[in-house]
A and B are shown apart, each in its own frame.
Chain A
Amino acid sequence: MNLKTALMGAVATVALGQMAYADAHEGDRGRDGEVKVIYWQAPSILNPFLSGGTKDIEAASLMIEPLARYDSSGALTPWLVEEVPTVANGGVSEDLTSITWKITSGILWSDGTPFTSADVKFTYEYCTDPESGCAQLTKFEGVTSVETPDDLTVVVNFDGPTPFPYGPFVGGESPILQAAQFADCMGAKAPECTDENFGPIGTGPFVVTDFRTNDVIQLVANENYREAGKPAFASMTFKGGGDATAAGRSVMETGEFDYAWNLQLAPDVIASMEAGGMGTPVAGFGPLMERIMLNQTNPDPSLSDEERSVIRPHPFLGDPAVYKAMSMAIDRPLLVEVGYGQAGKVTCNWIPAPEAVNSDTFTCDTQDIAGANAMLDAAGYMDTDGDGVREANGVPMQILYQTSTNAVRQDFQALIKEWWSEIGIEAELRNIDASVFFGGDPGSPDTFQKFYADVEMYANTFNGTDPQAYLGNGLCDNAPSPATQWQGENISRFCSEEYDALYAQLTTTADADERAAISRQLNDIMVEEGGMIPLVHRGRLSAHATSLGGVDLNVWDSELWNAADWYRTGDNR
């Protein structure tokens, strides 16, 4: 241990000591008995490289950890390393093509063997093996090699200047696997390693004793955990399955569980549960945003399947007067109140977080039906045949509005349909089973990629705090089409030369402030030119028992990122 970490450790101990004084939660490892966590989506595997599911990544984060992760404010925090490498501290090379991580010495795997740079290098090889089908491959995009000059140093080399080199080994999606355990599980053999995938050896606070897929995980405290006195709990039961209502009830009303994840419930339901008095909901905001995507192509069913999502333009949705009027007719504060309560905020932006990239160009928090009507009148869309629906060049303004099946989304559909009918636009609603809607089956007409509808509503987000890859979703050549087997993230088929040019500029800019400025501009182009109508900035709402202390909801990384710091409060010990 060098002087600096020793000092930091001392500072940390002092800080902890003060907190301990306030909260009285210092003590031996395992002093607080059992903690029970419920995820209404049950984890099916504990290897995040074989499953991209949030539930699996978060469950695995109790065992396996990355080199650095985002804390609850979205800032990068060293985790298994001494500091976050930057150009300023020499960790990132001047030409932005390599990054050097210095592993904290003395970290042990839960089986007692030392954690070394070889494990980090192995993880890179494991995921990039062409036959493994690794879900986190994007994390290693542009990486040409990982070098290990010594046991505690890892150098990641990129194929070009990478202004944001914190993809590999950062965040819950990219933890480090133990080379010794997974050595025989490379490539095509990855799925055969059931024992390994169900009980990865890690550096985290807990160790799996029993894993039942899609049901329950039982864990005990890691005896080799790097911090003394942590975790406070000797064991953890991690139950999965059921629905969000039942999970919320078990924490806030019956007190059977201590922590419930991601309670997507109507605010009045949450409030009535909170009245049960056993638990408290906590909310945090990442970049997750519910939006209505506007189809830029003509989805007319009489066109052939090949053409429906390719032929431009849409008969009327491309007109700024139309999509702006549609946006103005929406009462966003009401949507928030009905659907998300404290876990939602009004937003007019595609990228509502982190704060630095949240544009302030638009305002949209007041509904203006009259203004929307006037705007449509002025643009010449009139109801000529008196049926209450306007016509655009003789075509009635009827739109098909699809989304996935989910109680809140169906409420939103009903409300928005009503508002649009007030401005003379008639919507037909359709809801599609989420596994079909978000599944990429090229044979199904109902996928959100095919977008055989005029507008569709869903939420999307990005990992970490850097929006570059996410902004790439707006590029012209990223549009799904038959030629690309319907692959691509540009769902609305948005296409703007200005946007593409500005994006190219972003990929070569290193300065954080400048990057944020360009990101805000890209956001403004997307919204202004009618790629989407942003609705609600959605937070993550979880609940913990009043007797569970130390919970710090993190939306930028795994929610269970600081499970080592959890403890039992007050009299319930």
Chain B
Amino acid sequence: MTDLGIQAKADDLKPEQAPVKDRNQWWDVWDQFRSHKGAMAGLIFLTFITLFCAFGPMVWDVDPGKLDIRNKDVRPIYVAIWDVDAKTSWARPMGTDHLGRDIMANIMQGGRISLAVGWTAMVLAILIGTLVGVLSGYFKRLDWGLMRFTDLVLSLPILPLLLVMMLLFRDPLRAAFGPETGIFMLIVAGIGITSWMQTARIVRGDVMALKEREFVLAARSIGTPPRRMITRHILPNVLSPIMVSATLGLATAIITESALSFLGLGFPSDFPTWGKILFDSVDRMTAFPERVLWPGLAISLTVLAVNYIGDGLRDALDPRIRGL
């Protein structure tokens, strides 16, 4: 009933869509998505911030780690509007920090790492969570074992867990991939494997309820194998809690990374990330509000953008709404 495949076939039969021959369901999804203003704004912002971080350093080729102690504490350029005497410079449009590092370059460099960590850790957590949740909700035999495993991971204190991971894997990874990639993999894995449990439990709960619905019963009665049942009937129906988990997970991953740096388990100190820039600036918040403003805005707007994209996708993928 809510199955995408069936809906797609139904769409093909609609007369007004008949002339466009190669039009598949993804065009419909895109059309629906485009009509969602928030989602489009989110997509545009996300593209912008991604390009800004990915290609910004090529245009703005200031070394984010370069210290310039004479030009420390430069205010962002807009301060000059109301305070002519403020220390501003067009060469440092967003200002510099207390060691004279360029904030714009740091936001770009930090964004690369934060976005990469956020996305990878979130995708990892969602994949594990969905897999565990669906398996455990759908197959009764696996349920007990998988859910007790979830309980176990939920109970583990994260700090010693990460310390043990560092202890066991840091040096081998550093030797194999170099210090940057090695620590990146560790952090992503650390955040990913400690944040999938909520998704797993939510998905499992929904799957258990879905499994008893009539359409699943119907599909099963015509002999649909479990694999097809899950991918075509169950998964599309648990998409919206997964979307919410994903949005919240992205924010959590970016912030957790900063908390880890704070505890000495994150990236080395010469690797800026949004969370870390924000954390380091909190002490000087009153004197230099821009230093918390830039990374704070970057994190919040990214999360907001992903949230709206998630909303838009959810609507677009829901055949009951699509085409209305």
A interface residues, Cβ below 8 angstroms from B: 245, 265-266, 268-269, 272, 301, 334, 338, 404-405, 407, 410-411, 413-415, 417-418, 428-434, 436, 443-446
Q: Of the candidates B98, B163, B269, B280, which one forms a contact with A268 in the assembled complex, judged by CB atoms under 8 Å apart?
A: B98
User: Of the candidates B66, B99, B163, B166, which one forms a contact with A338 in the assembled complex, judged by CB atoms under 8 Å apart?
Assistant: B99
Asked if B269 and A266 make an inter-chain contact with CB atoms under 8 angstroms apart, the answer reads no
Within the complex, what minimum Cβ distance (angstroms) separates A422 from chain B? 11
Q: Mark B281-324, 1 if CB is under 8 A from A, else 0.
A: 01110110000000000000000000000000000000000000
Indicate if the CB atoms of B98 and A414 lie closer than 8 Å. Answer: no
Name the A residues within 8 Å of B283 (CB-CB). Answer: 245, 265-266, 269
20 more contacts with CB within 8 A, not counting A433-B163, A433-B263, are A245-B283, A265-B283, A268-B284, A269-B283, A272-B284, A334-B69, A405-B262, A405-B263, A405-B264, A414-B65, A414-B99, A418-B65, A429-B268, A429-B269, A429-B270, A430-B268, A433-B264, A434-B264, A436-B163, A446-B167
Query: Measured between C-beta atoms, what is the minimum distance from A118 to chain B in Å?
Result: 46
Please determine whether A301 and B280 come into contact, CB atoms closer than 8 angstroms.
Answer: no
The 7 closest A-B pairs by CB, nearest first: A405-B264, A433-B264, A410-B269, A429-B268, A269-B283, A418-B67, A429-B270
Judge whether B31 is part of the interface by a CB distance below 8 angstroms: no
Q: A301-B171, A413-B270, A414-B269 are in contact. Are A432 and B264 (CB under 8 A)?
A: yes
Report B156-189 residues with CB < 8 Å from chain A CB. Answer: 163, 166-167, 171, 175, 179
B127 at interface by CB-CB < 8 Å: no
Shortest distance from the beta carbon of B237 to any chain A beta carbon, whole Å = 44
Number of interface residues of B (CB under 8 A): 26
B265 within 8 A of A: yes
Contact at B264–A414, with CB atoms within 8 Å? no
User: A446 CA to B98 CA in the complex, in Å?
Assistant: 29
A432 to B260, CA, bound (A): 11
Contacts of A245 in B (CB 8 A): 282-283
Known contacts A266-B98, A272-B284, A404-B264: A414-B69 contact under CB 8 Å? no
Contacts A301-B175, A417-B270, A445-B171; A269 near B67 (Cβ below 8 A):
no
Q: Is the CB of A272 within 8 A of B269?
A: no
Nearest CB of B to A330, in Å: 13
- Complex Cα distance, B63 from A418, in Å, reads 12
Chain A: which residue is nearest B276 at the CB level? Answer: A410
How far does the Cβ of B271 sit from chain A's closest Cβ, in whole Å? Answer: 9
Question: Judging by beta carbons under 8 Å apart, are A269 and B284 in contact?
Answer: yes
Q: How far is the CA of A417 from the CA of B269 in the complex (A)?
A: 11
Chain B neighbourhood of A433, CB < 8 A: 163, 263-265
A338 to B286, CA, bound (A): 19
Could you tell me the distance between the alpha carbons of A405 and B279 in the complex, rounded to whole angstroms?
A: 14
Q: Which of A266, A418, A446 has the most CB of B within 10 A?
A: A418
What's the least CB distance linking A451 to chain B, in Å? 15
Residue of A nearest to B263 (CB): A433
Across the interface, name the chain B residue whose C-beta is closest to A430: B268
| 0/1 interface trace, chain B 44-79, chain A, CB 8 Å (1 if under) | 000000000000000000000111010001000000
Distance to closest chain B CB from A275 (angstroms): 9
Query: Are A418 and B263 touching (Cβ within 8 A)?
Result: no
- Please give, as numbers and ranges, the residues of chain A lying within 8 Å of B287 by CB-CB distance: 268, 272
B167 touches A444 (CB 8 A): yes
A residues less than 8 Å from B73 (CB atoms): 268
23 intermolecular pairs with C-beta atoms under 8 Å apart: A268-B284, A269-B283, A272-B287, A405-B264, A411-B98, A413-B269, A414-B65, A415-B99, A417-B270, A418-B66, A428-B179, A429-B268, A429-B269, A429-B270, A431-B269, A433-B163, A433-B263, A433-B265, A436-B264, A444-B167, A445-B171, A446-B166, A446-B167
Set of chain A residues within 8 Å of B262, measured between Cβ atoms: 405
Interface centre among B175, B280, B283 (most CB of A within 10 A): B283
Take A245-B283, A268-B284, A405-B263 as given contacts and tell me if A338 and B269 are in contact as well, using a CB distance cutoff of 8 Å. Answer: no
Alpha-carbon distance A405/B261, docked complex (angstroms): 9
Interface residues of B in 217-270 (CB under 8 A from A): 262-265, 268-270
How far is A411 from B67 in the complex, measured between Cα atoms in Å? 10
Residue of A nearest to B72 (CB): A338
Residue of A268, A301, A413, A444 with most chain B CB atoms under a 10 A cut-off = A268
Contacts of A268 in B (CB 8 A): 73, 98, 284, 287
Interfacial chain A residues near B163, Cβ < 8 Å: 433, 436
Residue of B nearest to A337 (CB): B69
Question: Would you call B99 and A407 a contact (CB within 8 A)?
Answer: no
Given the complex, which residues of A lie within 8 Å of B264, measured CB to CB? 404-405, 431-434, 436
Q: How far is the CB of B87 from chain A (nearest CB, A)?
A: 13
> Whose C-beta in chain B lies nearest to the C-beta of A432?
B264
A447 → B minimal CB distance (Å): 11
- Kindly state the separation between the CA atoms of A431 and B170 in the bound complex, as whole angstroms: 13
CA distance A39 to B265 in the complex (A): 25
**Per-residue A-contact encoding for B78-113, CB less than 8 Å = 1, 0 else:** 000000000000000000001100000000000000
Residues of B within 8 A of A436 (CB): 163, 264
Q: Interface code B32-43, partner A: CB below 8 Å = 1, 0 otherwise?
A: 000000000000
Residues on A with beta carbons closer than 8 Å to the beta carbon of B286: 272
Contact A431 B69 (CB under 8 A): no
Q: B282 to chain A: which residues have CB within 8 Å? A: 245
* Set of chain B residues within 8 Å of A405, measured between Cβ atoms: 262-264
Say how far A388's CB is from chain B's closest CB, in angstroms: 13
Contact at A431–B284, with CB atoms within 8 Å? no
Cα A269 to Cα B280 with chains together (Å): 12
B270: min CB distance to chain A, Å: 5
User: Which residues of B are found within 8 Å of A431, using beta-carbon distances?
Assistant: 264, 268-269
Is A338 a contact partner of B268 (Cβ separation < 8 A)? Answer: no
Question: Which of chain B's residues have a CB closer than 8 A to the CB of A446?
Answer: 166-167
Q: Which residue of B lies closest to A245 (CB)?
A: B283
- Chain B residues with Cβ under 8 A from A272's Cβ? 284, 286-287
Closest Cβ–Cβ distance, residue A67 to chain B (whole Å): 41
Q: How far, in whole Å, are A296 and B280 apart by their CA atoms in the complex?
A: 34
| Cα(A338)–Cα(B163), bound, Å | 31
Minimal Cβ-Cβ distance residue in B for A418: B67
- The answer on a CB contact under 8 Å between A414 and B268 is no
Q: How many angstroms from the CA of A413 to the CA of B270 in the assembled complex?
A: 8
Task: Give chain B residues whose Cβ lies under 8 Å from the Cβ of A404.
Answer: 264
A residues in contact with B67, CB < 8 Å: 414-415, 418
Q: How far is the CA of A338 from the CA of B283 in the complex (A)?
A: 14
- Alpha-carbon gap, A414 to B65, bound state (A): 8
Q: Which residue of B lies closest to A402 (CB)?
A: B268
Residue from the list A338, A443, A444, A445 in contact with B98, Cβ < 8 A: A338
Chain B: which residue is nearest A417 at the CB level?
B270
Residues of B within 8 A of A429 (CB): 268-270
Give CA–CA (A245, B279) in the complex, Å.
13
- Bound complex: CA A118 to CA B313 (Å): 80
A484 to chain B: closest CB distance in Å? Answer: 22
A400's closest neighbor in chain B, by CB? B179
A510–B223 alpha-carbon span in the complex (Å): 97
Which has the most chain A C-beta neighbours within 10 Å: B69, B73, B264? B264
Closest to A403 in B: B269
| Most chain B CB inside 10 Å of its own CB: which residue of A265, A411, A443 | A411
Residue numbers in A under 8 Å from B66 (CB-CB) = 418
Contact with A along B102-135 (1 / 0, CB 8 A): 0000000000000000000000000000000000
Alpha-carbon separation in the docked complex, A290 to B265 (Å)? 23
In the complex, the chain A residue whose C-beta lies closest to that of B101 is: A414
Which residues of the partner chain A approach B280 to less than 8 Å between Cβ atoms?
A: 407
Complex Cα spacing A452 to B98, Å: 31
